[in-house]
Amino acid sequence: MSTAIPAVRFSVVRRQFGEVRAIDDVGFEIADGEFFSLLGPSGSGKTTCLRLIAGFEQPDAGTIEIHGVNVAGVPPYQRDVNTVFQDYALFPHMSVGQNVEYGLMIRKVPAAERSRRAEEMLELVKLAGMRGRKPAQLSGGQRQRVALARALINRPRVLLLDEPLGALDLKLREAMQVELKALQRQVGITFVYVTHDQGEALSMSDRVAVFNLGRIEQIDTPAAIYEHPATAFVAGFVGVSNLCEGEVAKRLSGSAEPFAIRPEKIRIAREDAPTPDGWVYAGGRVESIVYLGAATRYTVELDGGGSLTVLHQNADDRDHGPASGARVRLAWQARHQQRLGGQRA
């Protein structure tokens, strides 16, 4: 965060398509050099935000500033931002090299320098020697890297990424997450990253904005979003959470105020096990067991109504935990109960 002027600033921005408000009253600031994620389910407005920054859409109300400059009416080709598209949008009639050099060619950079920088970029994304290939001859992961190189070669001040890993398989996606994060540190460019994958947003971002129905529910660091969700929606969308409200909340915490508790924060033990001081506990019966390898997920029917999901780490190969139908005692520390705002999911 080298300068005081934010890389991107939205103030009360609205964009509507017909009657539908794709984003409504959205405001945020992205610091220079930050890895900022826009997280939300499809149709929540995150992609619209990205397209507003790129200039493919114009806001119906509010202002958008990029590095302190109001970009109202500035077309995409005059903005100092570049985009990595979800479908990569590589030009099929050009080679990998021509694709990467496209932005420089448009800017009339001399051929020799163009070629040198393309070489560097392809090396950076580990595609050296692929220059002459056509996009159709590349794998999904390689195309993704070409798209990245094609955007980064222009040295944009902000790089926009629209679900860039969505089309890759799990292993490759995880490898690319690490690489992208490392690359971002290396080039020091502000990354604005759109994703519906909460794991991706949590693992890569400096800060995350959680979108729902065209509005921002919460903006914070990944840890804060996960440990202290502001609303029931955030608690439910980011990670898995037990949502307790009404009668159940009152019985467990003594207050009708709704709260959420993460499954891994709850300990599961035999009914007669001792409970440490200051812990909240509840008795119940194991309803179902799902074995996940690293952990086991129990659904426990509570005495007096309601149920809680518990994640139990399989740290000991001889500890098989309670069987289905067994009576158990659940316990957790009161501070892990996340109080939620009034909004419901």
Partner 1 sequence: MTAAALQSSAPLQRLSNALYLQPRLLLFLLLTPPLLWLGVIYLGSLFALLAQSFFYIDEYSGMVVREVSLATWRQLFTLANLDIVLRTTAMAAAVTAGAALLGFPLAYYMVRYASTRMKALLYLGVMLPLWSSYLVRVYSWKLILAKEGIITWLSEQLHLTWLLEGMLALPVIGGPSLSTSDIGTFLVFLYVWLPFMILPVVAALERVPRTLIEASADLGAPPGATFRRVIWPLALPGVVAGSIFTFSLTLGDYIIPGIVGSSHPFIGQAVYAHQGTAGNVPLAAALTIVPIAIMAVYLTVAKRMGAFDAL
State in angstroms the smallest separation of the CB of 66 from partner 1.
14
The widest CA-to-CA distance across the chain, in whole angstroms, is 78
State in angstroms the smallest separation of the CB of 102 from partner 1.
5
Nearer to partner 1, 28 or 85 (CB): 85
8 A C-beta contact, residue 199 and residue 212: no
Q: Tell me the residue type at 282.
A: A
Nearer to partner 1, 26 or 90 (CB): 90
Q: What is the DSSP letter of 176?
A: H
State in angstroms the smallest separation of the CB of 206 from partner 1.
24
Nearer to partner 1, 154 or 195 (CB): 154
State in angstroms the smallest separation of the CB of 236 from partner 1.
32
Structure tokens that stand for 219 in this block = 């903006």
State in angstroms the smallest separation of the CB of 145 from partner 1.
15
Q: What is the distance between the alpha carbons of residues 285 and 302, in angstroms, rounded to a whole number?
A: 7
243-256: b (≥16 Cβ within 10 Å) or e = bbbeebbebbbeee
Nearer to partner 1, 114 or 329 (CB): 114
Nearer to partner 1, 76 or 341 (CB): 76
User: Which residues on adjacent β-strands are paired with residue 244?
Assistant: 259
Nearer to partner 1, 86 or 343 (CB): 86
**DSSP3 helix / strand / coil % (the chain, rounded to 5):** 30, 30, 40
Nearer to partner 1, 135 or 322 (CB): 135
State in angstroms the smallest separation of the CB of 184 from partner 1.
19
Q: What is the DSSP letter of 132?
A: T
User: 61 φ, ψ to 5°?
Assistant: -155, 160
Q: How many CB atoms lie within 10 A of CB 63?
A: 14
Residues that bind partner 1 (CB under 8 A): 54-56, 75-77, 81-83, 85-87, 89-93, 102-103, 106-107, 150-151, 154
State in angstroms the smallest separation of the CB of 125 from partner 1.
16
State in angstroms the smallest separation of the CB of 181 from partner 1.
23
State in angstroms the smallest separation of the CB of 122 from partner 1.
16
236: which residues sit within 8 A by CB, 6+ positions away?
A: 243, 260, 345
> Which residue, 238, 164, 235, 151, is CA-closest to 203?
238
The H-assigned helical ranges of the chain are 46-54, 96-106, 111-124, 140-152, 170-187, 198-204, 222-227, 232-237, 246-253
Give every strand in the sheet of 8-17, ordered side by side.
Answer: 20-30, 8-17, 61-66, 69-70
CA 209 from centroid of its chain's CA atoms? 8
> Which residue, 220, 230, 223, is CA-closest to 37?
220
Nearer to partner 1, 89 or 289 (CB): 89
Nearer to partner 1, 90 or 168 (CB): 90
